[in-house]
Chains A and B, each alone.
Chain A
Amino acid sequence: MVEYLVIGAGVVGGMVARALCRYTNSVAIVEKCSDVAMGATRANSAIVHAGFDCKVGTLKAKLNVMGSKMMPEVARALGVKYNPCGSLVVGFSDEDRATLEELKVRGETNGVEGLVILDRAGVLALEENIGDDVTCALYAPTGAIICPYELAIAAVGCAMDNGAELHLGFEVARVTPVMEGTRVSFYEVESRDGRRIETQTVINCAGVYADEVYQTLEGEKTMDFSIHPRVGEYLLLDKEYGKTVSRTIFRCPSKMGKGILVTPTVDGNLLLGPTAVDTVDKSDTQVTPEGIAKVTKQATEQVKVNLRGAVITSFAGLRAVGSTGDFIIDYGHERFINVAGIESPGLSASPAIAEYVIELLKKKIGRGAFVVRTEYTPNYLSLAWLFHEMTDDEKCAVIAKNSAFANMICRCEEITEGEIVAAIHREPKPHDVDGIKRRTRASMGRCQGGFCVPVIVGILARELGVPEEEITKFGGNSYMLVGKTKTGEEAQK
């Protein structure tokens, strides 16, 4: 029996689990995929929004502004890169300028500080590569960028360091309340492969699947919502283009939709996207010719950038769009909280969402039950991350103890064997090639793993004690190799 069971190990589930661990070590996180941060957290715009975009009075507005204020400290504690680079919403017409004025008023009502409208000269003073047709912009100095999967990995890791347990490959099949008279005694949460965990409280952070998970609850459901996926396609540019702009460049929303953004990433690349196409398949993250064309067209209107030879990868992510238009965070059963419809600005709001959930729990359970544990640590340390930020002298000291840190594996991102091995053995532990990529950036650079992936497969196999043929790209059937060559077979004999 655990006190709390969090369904979904994305950034929201991770943040909620970490917040719960302030008060108890009796927390379980269950995740359907083979790794954490595999849903909406894996592929999004990586923006900490200032908060001018959300409709006044919504939960989105409140939690976005609050979350973005919390984020610098959260990122520091978790050892996650965070860059308060600011953002610009650029307009191309008088009509856009009027929209920007509205956004400014809305932002100020939401509590966003420092918003200014700039004319073209003002924009140029900040960003020399702004598009030729940009006439005006709304400048938000409190906008920031962060790496979403890094944040989720660190949040889950922090929760685990504080005693939480993580169950991967745990796809919830059924949540059964076990009654004691008219009250719920506990819930039994069962996975598709037959594992069972008992818990006093369930917190459903299942992203695009939050509605389906809620439907597996046996008992009267007091909430009615659905989630549909919205695909966003992105292009990632080589680090050579990372300084094209130094702030996030949004496009002024118009009749044509919200438009795409162009932003530097905390790792120094340039990210373009996303499109926004509503879909039905919750596992459809295909990149399409139309999507690439749209991103390319809009990005090059907003920012002067020559994309020829610049793109190192394209990808798509899903946003969990809720049926109410706002975040859906409330009790859906006696001790079952839904945290659903966490689309943009969900990443920005994630620390505040966690606090909001804690408040809901305090209301139900009583404040007395929530005493901060003396042994709780809000921090997360990963040698894999620390090493990369070290000075040469500090690196030398680490290498003197472990020479694997002098063995370069990923030449593009300059990641060593030491960092990869450290990541493999650090909770939450990766089991596949993409897991290594998200934790170390190995294979994420301009050659996209051309040289290092065969080596990483070997390191993973060695450290996990399995043959190379069992190593996958991201779990499931995504195996990397099909067997041995003829000479490989003979060598084995």
Chain B
Amino acid sequence: MKEMQTKLVIIGGGPAGMAAAVSAYDAGLRDIVILERDSKLGGILTQCIHNGFGLHRFGEELTGPEYAARYIEMVEARADGIRVYTSTTVTSLTQDKVVTAMNREVGMFRIQAGAIVLAMGCRERPRGALSIPGHRPSGIYTAGSAQKFVNLEGLMPGREVVILGSGDIGLIMARRMTLEGAKVKCVCELMPYSGGLIRNIEQCLNDFGIPLKLSHTVTQIHGKERLEGVTISKVDERRAPIAGTEEYIPCDTLLLSCGLIPENELTRKAGIEMDPVTGGAKVNGERETSVSGIFSAGNVLHVHDLVDYVSEEASLAGLSAVRYLEGQNDMPLDIKVKADGFVRYTVPQSVRRAGDVKVYFRVADVLRNAEVTVTVDGEGVYRKRHIKLAPGEMECVALKGEWLDGAKEVVVCAKGEERK
């Protein structure tokens, strides 16, 4: 087996991996390897041909492939320091930073890395996880699989569509399938609110007259070979189907957009400490995991709402990796960051290095007249009113370095009026 040594290995060449590589290069590092399992860089962006990417990062609205192309150009312009291996799958990762990978050109190979950035992205929750009663006919896809068929292969998964889950990919696919001549009958959302962005509900559903049925779920799959229809039902406050509300909808396709799961198989196998709420590693403000020198960023760390923030976070991780490699390991702080009230989680979960730090979080429910507060060791340091907070949007508070000196615990709390 071929053996190599590299200062920085980045696992994943999507928006996170590319941003980490570019920022590490710009911090002076010249020995960077990106390992990407697909045949080209860009990750899931390559199949996201709709626009809406890059407003924060580039100040303009780009499509997914355009956003990816911006970063691919940056990576290619730094080819003297960034080597890219595409069609390359990482099969194992150890705490000693040994990465085993394989591709058709080299076969299996091993890289001893000085530092690693995990940027593997996330995957969709499958039907099985939902345990929908009925047979198991063809015609049931995750929204992302259907997106790949339609946008990359030019193939249609079906003609009459019901979508379960109002995550952003589901909303985007409702519009995409409609534009391709399919009839999208409705989008069902188990919760009383959508997990997708408000702009997507407007542009992908309302503009096309596609009904969004909140507090509804699919309670029966019909058809033994190909899907023939679904029964949908209204659910109560405890998300249990209400008898008597069943409605049969004929369709040949059911698309699932029921949540994203960070893809951390390698991380877990390497014994890196995980956060059960985010499904990603626990990290400090540097985006460093419980194993020093291994960093994590992007959707593999926690599912982001916008790619712009993925790039931002990964840039930080890339920079942190360079600092680590340069031996800048002065970490005077040991502060826990905790979620309270309606805050489901925070990233980072701890702060080690002195200075300003941004804390990202999501809320567990739609809140009106909300207030976000931050306390440091019990003392309030930050307070901000929000007209509305929603689980679909990632929120952020910027902690000032001066608040943190000598602190033990930061608590981020959100309170507000819940829906009835």
Measured CB to CB, the residues of A under 8 A from B are 235-236, 240, 283, 285-289, 292, 309, 311-315, 392-393, 395-396, 399-400, 403-404, 406-408, 411-412, 414, 433, 446-451, 453-454, 458, 468-469, 472-474, 476-489, 491
Contacts and interface: CB of A to CB of B under 8 A. Distances in A.
**What secondary structure prevails in chain B residues at the interface with A?**
mixed
Contacts of A450: 123-124, 126, 142, 144-145
Contact of A488 (B134, B142, B153, B219): B153
Contacts of A283: 224
Given A393-B1, A488-B154, A406 B102 contact: yes
A412 B144 CA distance: 16
Lowest 8 CB-CB distances: which A-B pairs, in order? A488-B154, A313-B128, A448-B126, A408-B89, A473-B138, A403-B104, A477-B225, A478-B138
Given A313-B128, A450-B142, A406 B123 contact: no
Given A450-B144, A453-B145, A395 B108 contact: yes
B128 A448 contact: yes
Given A448-B126, A484-B155, 12 more contacts: A286-B134, A287-B132, A311-B129, A313-B127, A399-B102, A407-B89, A408-B91, A411-B89, A449-B126, A450-B145, A454-B152, A484-B156
B402 interface: no
A458 B153 contact: yes
Interface string B78-119: 000000000101010000000010111111100000000000
Contact of A485 (B123, B137, B156): B156
B123 A481 contact: no
A448 B128 CA distance: 7
Contact of A486 (B128, B134, B180): B180
A454 B132 CA distance: 22
B192 interface: no
Given A287-B131, A450-B123, A479 B138 contact: yes
Given A312-B126, A396-B107, A408-B102, A481 B155 contact: yes
B168 interface: no
A483 B136 contact: no
Given A404-B104, A450-B124, A473 B137 contact: yes
User: Which of B127, B150, B152, B156 counts the most A-chain CB atoms under 10 A from its CB?
Assistant: B156
A491 B152 CA distance: 12
Contacts of A433: 138
A412 B265 contact: yes
Interface in B242-288: 252, 263, 265, 268
B122 to A, nearest CB: 10
Contact of A392 (B1, B105, B157): B1
B104 A454 contact: no
A62 B117 CA distance: 59
A287 B133 contact: yes
Contacts of B408: none
B126 A407 contact: no
A315 B127 CA distance: 11
Contact of B148 (A448, A454, A472): A454
24 contacts: A235-B131, A236-B128, A287-B131, A287-B136, A289-B133, A399-B102, A403-B104, A408-B102, A411-B263, A411-B265, A446-B126, A448-B128, A449-B126, A450-B123, A450-B145, A454-B145, A454-B148, A473-B138, A473-B225, A481-B155, A481-B157, A482-B158, A484-B155, A485-B155
B135 interface: yes
B159 to A, nearest CB: 6
Contacts of B107: 396, 399-400, 403, 406
Given A400-B107, A485-B150, A408 B159 contact: no
A408 B142 CA distance: 20
B415 interface: no
B226 interface: yes
A477 B226 contact: yes
B30 to A, nearest CB: 28
Contacts of A314: 128, 131
Contact of B180 (A392, A403, A485): A485
B181 interface: yes
A309 B129 contact: yes
Contacts of B58: none
B103 A482 contact: no
Contacts of B134: 286-287
B208 interface: no
Given A309-B129, A406-B103, A411-B89, A447 B124 contact: yes
Contacts of B89: 407-408, 411
Contact of B105 (A236, A403, A491): A403
Nearest to B110: A392
Contacts of A482: 156-159, 252
